[in-house]
Chain A
Amino acid sequence: MRAHLTRRYRFSASHRLHNPALGDAENLRTYGKCSNPHGHGHNYGLAVTVAGQVDPRTGMVCNLADLDAFVERRVLEVFGHEHLNELPQFAGLVPTTENLARVLHRLFAEEFRAAEVEDVQIEETSLNSFAFAGEKEIRK
């Protein structure tokens, strides 16, 4: 039996949407207030969905302790209370929430071994959310 388990986390960080390849006027036109020079912050909500067969011995798709420990160490400690533009993950990459979703999806795909991560969803604010499942479609 295949099931899909979603766990939610929160972290706060700042960013500035600015592409140095574009001039100041072009950045302002593209990113508006998000291009203000000293950045601004959000309380991000992160939801991670793992999928797989339910292990008959444990009743689990993924031991939550493994997922929580990975997210704590590799996401919350790395991204929480940071200025995303300064992190190596965003060297040469504008830290839009689209790109944050791709960065996090790749991290899970390449390094989380306890279960298959199906998609990551990020709420930038309660009005904006983003989801990324790599090359796959997201199931309704």
Chain B
Amino acid sequence: MIYLTRKAEFSASHRYHNPEFSPEENRRIFGKCNNPHGHGHNYSLEVTVKGEVDARSGFVVDLKELKEVLNREVIEVFDHRFLNKEVPEFAHAIPTTENVAIAIWQRLEGKLEGARLHRVRVYETPDLFVDFYGEE
């Protein structure tokens, strides 16, 4: 089994707010991340896929295709967007790094020819990242 990782970057804004909580609870739980107009990050994404090496091509996955799928499914949807309002997954789910990683996994799952998703890693900042391995 070979593991292959491709990186991508996007910049987006978000706000942590649960309308079921009172304003005080939102402020207590989410702190500054609850500021009403949102704030942004330069996100960095690492997608790791795994599979056997194809004898003819020498590839696990065609990197060009992986790049195109990443661009179409993730970057074009997330980049320079306010996640809460512009990405449908976050109409109800809070766009935490955890939920961003899960949403990206779900967008990529089943769309890669010849390889299986192993891990989605999303960096919100260089000092904070989340790994998602699918249903465990």
One digit per residue, 1 when the CB lies within 8 angstroms of any chain B CB and 0 when it does not, for chain A 55-68 equals 01111110111000
User: Which range contains the number of B residues in contact with the other chain?
Assistant: 20 to 34
The yes or no answer to A54 lying at the interface (CB within 8 A) is: yes
The yes or no answer to A8 lying at the interface (CB within 8 A) is: yes
- Count A interface residues, CB 8 Å: 22
Q: Which residues of A contact B79 (CB under 8 A)?
A: none
Kindly specify which of B38-46, B63-71, B92-100, B109-117 makes contact with the partner chain. Answer: B92-100
Do most interface residues of chain A lie in helix, strand or loop, or is the interface mixed?
mixed
**Residue pair A54, B20 in contact (C-beta under 8 Å):** no
One digit per residue, 1 when the CB lies within 8 angstroms of any chain A CB and 0 when it does not, for chain B 106-136 equals 0000000000000000000011111111011
One digit per residue, 1 when the CB lies within 8 angstroms of any chain B CB and 0 when it does not, for chain A 38-76 equals 000000000001000010111111011100000000000
* Cα–Cα, bound, A2→B136 (Å): 7
> What's the nearest-Cβ distance from chain B to residue A71, in Å?
11
Which residue of B16, B128, B132 contacts A59 across the interface (Cβ within 8 Å)?
B16
Residues of B within 8 A of A (CB): 3, 16, 18, 20-21, 29-31, 93-99, 101-102, 126-133, 135-136
Residues of A within 8 A of B (CB): 1-9, 49, 54, 56-61, 63-65, 139-140
- Could you jot down 6 A-B contacts, CB within 8 Å? A4-B133, A5-B129, A54-B98, A59-B94, A59-B95, A59-B99
